[in-house]
Structure 1
Amino acid sequence: MMIRMFPGLRAALSMVFVFGLVASASGQLQMNYYAKSCPRAEKLVQDYVREHVPRSPNLAAAILRMYFHDCFVRGCDGSVLINSTANNRAEKESIPNQTVRGFDFIDRVKSILEAECPGIVSCADVLALVTRECIVVTGGPSWRVPTGRRDGVISSATEATNNIPPPSSNLTTLQRAFTNKGLDLKDLVILSGSHTIGLSHCSSFSSRLYNFTGKGDQDPAMDPKYAAILKSKKCRNPNDNNTVVEMDPGSFKTFDLSYYSLLLKRRGIHQSDSALITSSSAKAYVTELLKGSQENFYAEFALAMEKMGRIEVKTGSAGVIRKHCALAN
């Protein structure tokens, strides 16, 4: 017997079905997931980060970048941590990840947790927890990190290249990459605020200074005075692959709103930074953040980070718990 379904009911049921898919992907994450199986897990992560990251403050930005790059490829499953093998070029070998560092730090935290609770805490959760604590210890915001992620065993350099938007991205490319992961324009603007800390290699933006369109020209979207400073004092050689530059000059160790102020002055270091003021909608978010308080930025960043941390997570029977984060079991 065929049952006639009214259009409104059909739409409602479709929405329930879609919501169910989303919920099933992240619904098993929960706060204090390891409360019984490894009660000291989060405290051990916190203590290690608090002891070691202040000695190497640039590490916080590096770990945050690693976390972004992990979540944008196969979801937040720790696949960025896996080493290449004779038969596979892992994510680490992709162009976006060749300057990512901090892998040894994650390995050390994982070894502490393995000693405490063997085979219990996933590498994906280790990375998520370490990222949060790294930002907190540098004076930045905290956020909820529900846990229960399981680890992936597939890591592909090609997939990383295809999914991680490069620093030369325009707004269309950025939005496409974020939309593919369930993140919207506001998330893009908020999460880009992570560039308020850390450093960037000259090679990631030198084309903006020396050869923007292939004719030896400069990117007109960049403040010419700022470009001149970079060319004369920092990135003097267009082929420099080693020199690093502050992404938020004068404030690169402080998690604040300075990054957004620089955007409006056309001093975003990457093309992907400058892209945030090329549309009225994105620029409106930037302006709104600057009108608000730093506490408001922290609150917005916390929400966006928790949302990102749920991208395509593996829970339940999906994935594995890798004993060594660099090895796919």
Structure 2
Amino acid sequence: NHPLVNINFATSRSHNGNTLNNVHPEAPNILLNDAQDINTKEVDVVFICLPHTSGIKLTKNALESGTKVIDLSADYRLQSPDSYLKWYNIKHDAPQLLETAVYGLSEINRSKIKNASLIANPGCYPTSILLPTIPLIRENQFDSTRPIIIDSKSGVSGAGRTPKQNLHFVEVSGNFQAYKIGKSHQHIPEMEEQIQKTTSQLPNIIFTPHLLPVPRGILSTIYFPLKSNFTEKEIRSIYSQKYAKEPFIKILNPEEPVSLKHVLHTNLCTINITVVNDLLIITSAIDNLVK
């Protein structure tokens, strides 16, 4: 419903021939076509949301026709083809595009995004983690000799739409579990690369995600090592300077808890902090299906 955006077409692999509002009643009445049948020359920007590597051919065609691409998969988030072999167990079919893709975290990379032809939409967990940490790293607050320890909880939609036994209602309801503990999750290199671009040092990230028995939302707790004893007031001042004009970043008052309920169905990222000596404890929340 943005006044400056017109939707020319939408595609679907599973609902081809149906209308978008039949699948999502709140959406416009647009016929769903096969992605191979569209003409990307008709639009200024195309959003591609396909399983990893499935949209590379479509991306190439769109870029060749002069159309900008915003890709929602992980296909262009990492800079090295070797990283895709290690973390996704795939050989990247367009390594040359990794060099030109811009990481699409708008509050951090807005100026680069404006001039980019290929934008890599960030992962859900990294969005909730990089938004509160990058401003502090840019202000030289990060003690890189110590690890960043992150504990994130996500609703089941973060695992995608493909049915899996461990995501069935009877498996998830009344349960809470950790998975891919420590150094196993594929979002780790994405966070490492973005932080390394800021600090020129590879950070030691220890990341444990958890599956919540809720449909959507991510709440992250980040144990961020400070170089020295900074006060909460000083840290809040850094956030205020960076995010004062960002309508979708909300720095909460000290007494306000970060809550999934307050961000669901919004583009907000809420952030709060607590300082314990030389350790900053950050909590953040986003809606993984919007932000």
Using structure 2 for the length normalisation, give the TM-score.
Answer: 0.32
The structure with more helix, counted as a fraction of residues: 1
* Higher Rg of the two aligned structures: 1
The structure with more strand, counted as a fraction of residues: 2
The structure whose RCO (Cα within 8 Å, separation 6+) is larger is 1
